[in-house]
A and B are shown apart, each in its own frame.
Chain A
Amino acid sequence: MTQNYTLAELCISATAEAWRDRGEILATGIGLVPRLAASLAKMTFNPDLMMTDGEAYLVSEPVPVGPLGDYQPKIEGWMTYDKVFDNLWGGRRHAVVTPTQIDKYGQSNITFIGDRSAPKVALLGVRGYPGNSTNHANSFFVPGHNTRCFVEGEVDMVGGIGYNPSRWPGGRKPKDFEISMIVTDLAIMDFQGPDNQMRVTHLHPGIELEQVRENTSFELATASEIKQTPAPTPEQLEIVRTFLDPHDLRASVFKGNPAGDRRTEPHG
């Protein structure tokens, strides 16, 4: 008998897998779910991970989200942006980020939608996407799996590079480039299909493959056996609920805070 869990909690435990078996590297999760996922990975199967307080210090224990009360971050080192860049250019990092657009190559965009000269929507800028994607493995968390995110053709501004040999220098894959996994509100995917085609490996409980295909603008490969995304363990739920996110900020990630198993009723 498994415990009830929300879709946000399912996505947190699924995304935490991005940091399994990665050893002593810097774990960066941008946004609430990726950050909680990195924190969960550090507090369970990969205690060697390095994490920051989001400001300038390395902490030996992940800092909970929301109002901290009397909690004092357990500082173990100094990690300025200068050092973050040096560290990531050295390749010892895995980041999980949330692009606005992703294409079939895994190229990603957070800069603008539309045309460069006068874009329809201006977003952040390229931030660290080119450097991150070139120098170390990355994964994505996508809260809204739809055709506006998973676009036809190429993304409007390629920030994060992808499995697109026509863009690679000399046609050779950059040495440290890898997109390990994509966790969405519907499924888990990777790039292990033929010729690095995006491939569905897991469906969240209650989700059909057809739903994933309808919400993606390009063809998807499928794993020989598509598994159901594993439910968070009671230990994982305990850590997320009582320590990492005691104020339940994760309840606001998905509209209506749906159950992790979509065949059951929404959480109260």
Chain B
Amino acid sequence: MKVDEIAASLSDGMVVGIGGWGGRRKPMAAIRAILRSPVKDLTIVSYGGADVGMLCAAGKIKKLIFGFVSHDAIPLDGHFRAARQGGAIECVDFDEGMLQWGLRAAAMRLPFLPTRTGLASDVVAQNTNLKTVKSPYTDGEELLAMPAINLDVAILHANVSDKRGNSQIHSPDPFFDELMARAATKTYLTVERLVETEALGGREGAHTNYIERNLITGVAEVPHGAHPTSCDPQYGIDVGHLKTYMAAKGEDEWAAYCDQFVNLPDQASYVNAVGGEDHIKFLRLPGF
């Protein structure tokens, strides 16, 4: 399928989980497709980076369920900050591990999972929707009941897949993409390369297959589809492009950014607009 078909399948107000982590392996081609589409009032669940920032800049987010928004190489995202400071989005702050716990509860089709994390902090004190439970065993400990974060749709970016959705993540960290797929009613995958099943590498390749295909609704092939975030081992974070995106602060500047990089007919035009394949290929992989 095409990324614009992924965007077209979304409806206003949906809860959408986005894979990757900060500046790494974000399904950015699909995010740009959402920017081009009329969909609005989304609830976004993310270990956020440019995905959240761009959706904020485009006014697509009503509610953000998150642990952070950062590009790693650049700590803060200006578009997210402006949206939060202006009161334009409702922010539900969770500890990174609580987010994982909420997704895991949804993945296991449980209403909640207990944890100590969050108690005594404002994550709980400033969120009236969170409740505690008492351990039914002799310890009687009071624990936070982290509610399931059920997703209507998850959108993830992987290195390769076949047509049926037998996918592989070759990057060293699969992050929480698998939990997002399990927590979602539908999961769309964008991949660097669509390959024949025989080209998936047999036994060895199977170790990087984190998400079984019955969780995948559709696959779109978009080479360099994570740019400007990284897709290890193919390419690193494009810090220069992130700076260009961050500089597009005002309404006119953002419209100009969209004309140049978002409102394009296809991924090939995007790759050309950001400097071509050779530019992306030589972006340094992240290392801190």
Q: Spell out A's residues near B (CB within 8 Å).
A: 53-57, 63, 68, 78, 80-82, 85, 88-89, 111-112, 116-131, 133-135, 157-161, 164, 167-170, 174
Contacts and interface: CB of A to CB of B under 8 A. Distances in A.
B84 A122 contact: yes
B116 A134 contact: yes
Contacts of B117: 89, 130-131, 134-135
Interface of B: 21, 48, 66-70, 75-76, 80-81, 84-87, 91, 93-98, 100, 116-123, 125-126, 132, 141-142, 171-176, 286-288
B123 A81 contact: no
B191 to A, nearest CB: 20
A81 B175 contact: yes
A131 B84 CA distance: 23
Contacts of B68: 124-127
A174 B120 contact: yes
Given A124-B70, A135-B117, A169 B97 contact: no
Contacts of B132: 169
B172 A169 contact: no
A111 B69 contact: no
B90 to A, nearest CB: 9
Contact of B121 (A55, A124, A159): A159
Given A80-B172, A116-B126, A125 B93 contact: yes
Contact of A125 (B67, B86, B125): B67
Contacts of B91: 116
Nearest to A79: B173
Nearest to B175: A81
Contacts of A167: 120-121, 125
Given A63-B287, A119-B84, A159-B123, 8 more contacts: A53-B287, A55-B287, A82-B100, A82-B175, A129-B95, A134-B116, A134-B117, A159-B93
Contacts of B174: 80, 82
Contacts of B21: 81
A160 B118 CA distance: 9
Nearest to B75: A124
A15 to B, nearest CB: 18
Contacts of B84: 112, 119, 122
